[in-house]
Amino acid sequence: MLMTNLNHVESAENHKKILEENENVMICCGRMGPMCLPVYDIMEELEDKYKDVKFYDMDFDVPDAYVIKNAPECAGFMGLPFTMYYKNGKVVKATTSIQDMDQVSSILDEYFEKSEYQHSKVAD
């Protein structure tokens, strides 16, 4: 079990259901390791900004993580975490290893529509 505040993908069946029920989905498949934690943290930060995107993590070591590990888009990946971006159930982007806020945000902006929240400045 990953100790994050994200929703977790629990199984292959759960993975399928999430993709069927949501248009825009980002799943970070990893461990509680140094390359993975920053990506989870970024996703937690972005959850409020990208209301139209569902953010999940998945434990790399559970057997059902094959749904991500064995995805053709992950062929050749040799660095955790494997991060998948789905639109209407199809993979539109996959990344390997650590990513920073700018990299994740630019993928979300490119493939998923921004919510209204993003355009309004939050007063401190």
Residues that bind other proteins (CB under 8 A): 3, 31-38, 41-42, 45, 76-80, 95-98, 100-102, 121, 124
Please report the DSSP string for 59-110 in residue order: ETTSGGGHHHHT-GGGTT--SSPEEEEEETTEEEEEEES---HHHHHHHHHH
Our CB check for other proteins shows the closer of 24 and 99 to be 99
- Phi, psi (degrees; rounded to nearest 5) at 115: -85, 170
Minimum distance of other proteins from residue 73's CB (angstroms): 13
* Comparison of 33 and 89: residue with beta carbon closer to other proteins: 33
Specify the residue, 24 or 95, whose C-beta has the smaller distance to other proteins: 95
